[in-house]
Amino acid sequence: MMRLSTVRTGRGNTLSVATVSPPGGVGAAPLLLLHPINMRKECWLGLLPALAAERACVLVDLAGHGESTDDDFSLSAWVDDCADVVRLLGLTGLHVAGGSLGGAIAVGVAAALPDRVRSVTGLGSSVASEPGDSPAPADAAAVDALFAGLAREAVAPGRPDDVVDTVRLLTNRHGPDVVTRVLRAAYDADASGWLGEVRCPALWATGEYDVTCSLTESERIAGLLAAGVHVPLPGVGHLPMIEDPALVLAHLVPHLRAADAV
Domain 2-260 has CATH 3.40.50.1820: yes
- Exposed/middle/buried for residue 157 (C-beta within 10 Å: 0-12, 13-18, 19+): exposed
Of the listed ranges 7-16, 67-76, 105-114, the one predicted with least confidence: 67-76
Residue type, 19: T
191: closest CA among 113, 108, 72, 254? Answer: 108
pLDDT of amino acid 147: 84
Q: What is the pLDDT of residue 138?
A: 60
CA distances for 256 relative to 122, 226, 227, angstroms: 13, 17, 13
Residue 144, SS3? helix
The residues with which 14 forms a beta bridge, in sequence order, are 8
The model's confidence at residue 17, banded by pLDDT at 50, 70 and 90, is very high
What was the pLDDT predicted at 131? Answer: 56
222 closest CA partner among 236, 201, 244, 242 = 201
Q: Find the DSSP H helices in the chain.
A: 48-51, 75-88, 101-112, 140-153, 161-169, 176-188, 215-224, 240-243, 245-260
SS3 per residue for 158-179 = CCCHHHHHHHHHCCCCCCHHHH
Query: In whole angstroms, what is the distance from residue 124 CA to residue 46 CA?
Result: 17
Nearest to 44 by CA among 110, 96, 111: 96
Q: Give the pLDDT band of residue 72 (cuts 50, 70, 90).
A: confident
pLDDT given for residue 137 in this prediction: 64
For the residues 6-11, what does the mean pLDDT come to? 95
pLDDT tens for 131-190 read 555 566 667 788 888 888 889 999 999 999 999 999 999 998 888 888 888 888 888 899
What is the model's pTM? 0.95
Q: Pick the closest to residue 70 from 178, 150, 205, 212 (CA basis).
A: 178
Report the pLDDT averaged over residues 41-67.
96
Residue 176 contacts residue 143 (beta carbons within 8 Å): yes
Decide: 20 and 90 in contact? Cβ < 8 Å: no
103 vs 128: CA distance, rounded Å: 11
Taking 70 as the threshold, does the pLDDT of residue 55 lie above it?
A: yes
147 to 38, 153, 167, 200, 205: CA distances (angstroms)? 9, 10, 9, 35, 24
- Rounded CA-CA distance 257/252 in Å is 9
* pLDDT-based confidence at residue 29 (cuts at 50, 70, 90): very high
For residue 82, pLDDT over 90 is answered with yes
